[in-house]
Amino acid sequence: MLTRLIKLSGSIIFFAFCWIFRMFKIVVGKNPHAIFVILYYHTVKSHQKQAFAKQMDYLVRWTQPLGMESSFSLENRKYYTAVTFDDGYQSVLGNALPELLKRKIPSTIFIVTGLFGNSPSWVLDSNHPFSIEKIMTKDQLIHLNQESITVGSHSVSHPDLSKLNGDQIKTELLQSKSTLEALLKKKVELMSFPHGKYNPLVIQIAKEIGYTRVFSISPTLSTMNEEDFVYGRFNAEPTDWPIEFVLKIHGAYRWLYFAFKFKGYIKSMFHLRKNIFHISF
């Protein structure tokens, strides 16, 4: 709870500074850049359906939702969002997608192709809320509304790709892509990284295989520029407080990216000093 409140407080302060800066630019005759936030969910349980629906009402009220399959030109001053789901759980199929279709909000679902109809094998804690989830079956996937729902790869087995060798990475990325294309009878060009983990080799192989956009879990804004390849995303949960969610879709939580980077820098400096100390003595 304390961490959540700290993140919220930091985001309120950050949003206030950004809003003042955007207003100043407008006053002096300059157009602030568009804000494009990509959200990622995992599950939406039956008792969370109403809360999720309310979030989607906020989404269409404050932003313009976009699909991730096509390219768009973002207009200055405007706020844009995209909704994505990782893993491909059946709870999303029953509780989230109907609310999205009702509001004509496009979405993207990233599927783990080696576990159709099964529980997530990477969730080892039986008390974890995802442990009782089931991944969509092949038949459920085939019958998705492909006009508003884009399907992307989330690998074959949901590994930490940054810890695999080149052949293993290629198998995970290529086999999942081929499986989905065979089922859907269309090209699959989007992928999100399991656990949000990747490295330069993963990026290189993803490009070689034919993915056009890949997605991390770093809370950074997107631009939809043609040269972009890795897109950051903001975590969203149906249990988010309304103020949390509204701040997220306005990009206010992006200060966390810099906080995480700074924290990583401090840790690396500490380990470096510690190693130097051991070498010296």
The pLDDT tens digits for 156-167 are 999 999 999 999
* Fold that domain 32-275 belongs to in CATH: TIM Barrel (3.20.20)
pLDDT exceeds cutoff 70 at 281: no
Residue 232: how many other CB atoms lie within 10 Å? 18
Predicted confidence at residue 134, as pLDDT, reads: 95
Predicted confidence at residue 272, as pLDDT, reads: 47
pLDDT band, very low/low/confident/very high, at 270 (cuts 50, 70, 90): low
The pLDDT tens digits for 174-192 are 999 999 999 999 999 999 9
Segments making up each domain of the chain, as ranges? 32-275
The pLDDT tens digits for 122-164 are 998 888 989 899 999 999 999 998 789 999 999 999 999 999 9
The pLDDT tens digits for 31-66 are 899 999 999 999 999 999 999 999 999 999 999 999
CA angle 121, 122, 123 (to 5 degrees): 90
pTM: 0.92
